Structures are given as structure tokens and as C-alpha cells.
Amino acid sequence: MAYAQALSASISYASASFNKVLPQGFPQSKGLSYFVMNSRANQAKQAHICAEIQRERDPMAKDHAGIKVPHVLTVAGSDSGAGAGIQADLKACAARGVYCSTVITSVTAQNTVGVQGVNIVPEEFVAKQLKSVLSDMQVDVVKTGMLPSSGIVKVLHQSLKDFPVRGLVVDPVMVSTSGDVLAAPSVLAVFREQLLPMADIVTPNLKEASALLGSPKLETVGDMHAAAKALHDMGPRNVLVKGGDLPDSLDAIDIFYDGKNIFELRSSRIKTRNTHGTGCSLASCIAAELAKGSSMLQAVKAAKHYIEASLDYSRDLVIGNGRQGPFDHFLRLKRNMHSTYRENAFDPSDLFLYAVTDSRMNKKWGHSISDAVKAAVEGGATIVQLREKDIETRDFVEAAKSCLEICRSHGVPFLINDRVDVALACDADGVHVGQSDMPVRVARDLLGPEKIIGVSCKTPVHAEQAWVDGADYIGCGGVFPTNTKENNITVGLDGLKTVCMASKLPVVAIGGIGILNARSVMEINESQLKGVAVVSALFDRECVLTETKKLHSVLMEVTYMK
């Protein structure tokens, strides 16, 4: 009797909890709503619910619960070339900030040329994988990809009855973008009968939509409209017919239908061979956005924008010899190709002669920013910071790209002052931020662990915090009065020495430093002091190259005398 009462309470609790977590604009699917109320007889589900009740009642369990992370489970095939399938799903979810677990339905041998072989995972083992994840890991959304047999479709159907989730995104992977057939015709009937009625959205390409409907080839936007409505009649709450392969279309047109309204979602058609895995990635991105709480239309739009940006970034990548290559989900591969400098960790010796640009000084002497940076680098500057306060963002990015190319060609690190967005846009080697700018921790989260981050400091407390927050170096100053920064309180040589003694990070001195006083700065003989940062001494001069060479010579003399 006690067990029956506990079980009844468990079922009621589970139903209430399930309904409570549904995001606004994201009602549970027609199929899943039925299965939530009719899963009482399944012992595995009962045990899972009882375990949830125990965690709710156990104070220790609550303390260790932590933050609930949005979670997508992808049920799909493995792509040995890592462009599509499980591998693409993992990358897309990671790029969108969502945890992704996997159930592998098949293992394929494929590359950029095509699919050379498919090995289907036994149904029993697919079922075991599903139970392992769904019974334990609080999945929000399930996304399906390649389901190569009718038996596996049935296994998934039963698993979702046993362990209902908030959402189901069905990408009916039957024919790849490259034309490879990935599922047997016998799968279609089971797919229509069991999976589509459970789906919150189905995302076929043109060939898959035709296969599901048993209709002729889709060739026009009007055909796509009709197909979306016909597919919706099969049970899914929403339909997205992808028109990436639509002939004679200047735009990439997708048709979204929610049962009431139909939307033509257009984006630029990116001319590139690197489109392998776009369908998998789009569906995974939709699942990720739903897991984070977006409405369906918001999720679809976000996914479409993400794919467009990724294709545009990856348009000229060369991976493999076939006609269809993969794209870069993280928009980072070019950084590694173009970066000749950041092969190793940050080198404190790069702070030796730190050149900080000033656009007003360049204008005064008729220097372009790229010419000034080139002269400084050729004169011996060991690191360059682009500081532009009176420039539009678009012009800032273009100037940064030009200067970055110069610095990379000389093996000199190139940083951006304050503007993390510009550093990201041009793939600079890092940023330098002030005490009132973006916090170092936030900059590090945005830029990643490999980028250089410097921070301005005036006190030992600032220096300690910079180390705690993950900076690579600190800039201490102004050491002397300067005209390049208004209301800048000077710390003097004694203040510089105090900060250097307290700092766990390498230090570069800045503020009012030039040829006449650089020697006195370096002669404080603190091991953490690695160099000087200068503005006017280099850029407020007629010949940047000559002045840089002179200052570099002075610094070298001091170094040799130590």
C-alpha cells in the first residue's frame, strides 16, 4: 500500500514537473503528451521517477544539484570524416553552448568523396544506449539523424514513450546533400506512422520531403509550400522544408510552417563546396536553441543565421579532395592557418619594446596606420597594440586586419586596446583592457585560453586581481606624466617598483616613457619588469622607423649592462 501511494505521488509529481519546464511558445508535442500520461506501467520509468522524488527530498542531493545545463541528445550515425552525423551534432551544440550526448545508430565509412560503407548498430544496443542516457541525464530535447532501419525507429519510439522529453527534432536523414542514400525504403512507413506524430519539428531537404510524401521532385517555392503543409498533416507540430538545393534560386530559401502561418526564410546563398553536414547541423542548432528555451520560430531563425555565418566563414577552406567538404562550426580553423606567431604560449620577452599606436599622431605626421605599424615593427618593436579612440568600428576592423597582416609577417604579436569585439573580428593575438573596461574574466571567456590579455594596473591590489582573473601581463603606469591620456594619475618609479615586487605576472611600464628616461625605468632592476610601452616617443615623430631603432638600442644597452 505504501509503495502504491508513493508511486501514485511520483506519477503526479513527474507530470507536474514536466509541464512546468516547457518554455513559452513550446507546447509539448501531440505524441509525447499522450505518452506522458500513459507510461505508468513501465517499471524503468517508475524507478526513474522515484529516484527523482528521492533527490527532491534529500537535502544533500539538492546541494549538489548545481545549475541545470541545457541538454540535447542526438540519435544519429557516425561520420568518419566528421563533417556530418554525430560529429556535426556535437560541434553544433557545443558552438551554441549546449551539452550534447549521443546514441549511435550506425557507423559509416565516408569522406569528402562520398559514403563507402554503412555498418548498422544492432537494435538492442541502440536501445541500451538510449536507456543509459534518458534514464539518468535529464535530456531536454532529442534530435534524430540517420535512423537506418525500421527496427531502430521503433526502438526510439518506444524509448521516448518510456522517457518523455520536452522536445523532439526529427531530421529525416535519408538522402544526403551529396546524393548518397542513407536509409532503406522500408524505413519510410514506420517513420511516417511512429516518429512524425511525436515530432515537434521535422526538417527534410527537398529529396527527403519528396520521399516522405511519395511525391515528384520539388522544384519551386510553391512546391515547398505544398510539401510543408502535406507533411504537417502527418502529425509534426512544425515543418521546415530546406531549399538549399532548389534549382535556379539566388537565395537559400527554407519554408517554415507551424500549422497556421507559413514563412519564407531567406538568406544569402554562399558559394562554397563546404556544405557537408549543413542539414545535421541546422537541426542540432534548432534543438540546442529549444533546449535553451527559445520558441520554435526563434530557434529556426537562429539556426539559419548560424549556418549562414559558418558557411560564409568556411567558404575557402580545403579539407579533402572530394566535391563536398565540411565547414567550420566554431569559426576558428583559419586562425590556426594564418597565425604564425601564436604557436607557443605567451612569451614575456615580447613586452620588451611595446608600441601603442595613436591615430591623432599619425594624422599629424601624415602617416597611415599600417605604414606607422610597419615602421615600428621594422625598427624593433616586439609587440604592437592598436589603440584607436576616434574611429568607426568598420574602419577599426579594417585597420586592424591590415596591421595584423604586417605583424604576423614579422612574427610580432598584435593586440587591440579595449575592443574585444574588434579583436574577435580580425583574429588579433589578444587585447589590453583597463580597470574600467571589460573584466579580464569576461574577455578570457570570449577570446579563449590561447589569446593574450593584458590589463592596466596602478597598485599591488590591481596586480593581484589581474593574476587571479587570468591575465597574461600587466601594464603599470603612468610612470611619468603624459599627454596621451587625460587625468592619468602617475605612479612614479617607486610605484612601478612596488607593483613589480607584488606582481606574479610580467610587467610592462607605460606612461611618458621615451629615449631620455627609458634607461631609468629599466634600471629599477625588478625581475618582473620586462619592457616599456611607448606612444609619443614613436608615433609623435616624423620618422617612426628611426625613433623605434633609437629606443630599441637604448633598451638593449640597459639589458647588456645588467
The residues assigned a catalytic role are: 242, 275, 277-280
d(CA 559, CA 562): 5
In the beta sheet, which residues pair with residue 510? 477, 533
Cis, bond preceding 320 (omega within 30 deg of 0): no
- Please say whether the beta carbons of 243 and 253 come within 8 A: yes
Residue 300: other Cβ atoms inside 10 A: 25
d(CA 370, CA 400): 9
Amino acid at 19: N
Identify which of 392, 375, 397, 393 has the alpha carbon closest to the alpha carbon of residue 384: 375
In the beta sheet, which residues pair with residue 531? 508
Please give the distance of CA 535 from its chain centroid, rounded to a whole number: 35
Q: What are the distances in angstroms from CA 406 to CA 198, 344, 376, 453?
A: 56, 19, 11, 20
Residue reference for cell 522515484? 50
In the beta sheet, which residues pair with residue 75? 103, 144
Sequence-distant (6+) residues with CB within 8 A of 129 are: 103, 104
What is the length of the chain?
562
3-state DSSP of 148-214: CCHHHHHHHHHHHHHCCCCEEEECCCCECCCCCECCCCCHHHHHHHHHHHHCCEECCEHHHHHHHHC
Q: What is the phi-psi region of residue 427: left when phi exceeds 0, alpha when psi lies from -120 to 50, beta otherwise? A: left
Angle (deg, nearest 10), helices 440-447 and 460-469: 30
Instruction: Measure CA of the first residue to CA of the last residue in the chain; give whole Å.
Output: 86
- Please say whether the beta carbons of 552 and 353 come within 8 A: yes
Helix (H) or strand (E) holding 90: helix 85-95
- Please say whether the beta carbons of 253 and 294 come within 8 A: no
d(CA 534, CA 552): 11
Residue 198: other Cβ atoms inside 10 A: 24
Residue reference for cell 612574427? 411
d(CA 381, CA 551): 9
d(CA 28, CA 36): 10
Q: What are the distances in angstroms from CA 113 to CA 89, 279, 326?
A: 21, 18, 11
Sequence-distant (6+) residues with CB within 8 A of 263 are: 255, 256, 257, 297
d(CA 353, CA 553): 10
Residue 248: other Cβ atoms inside 10 A: 6
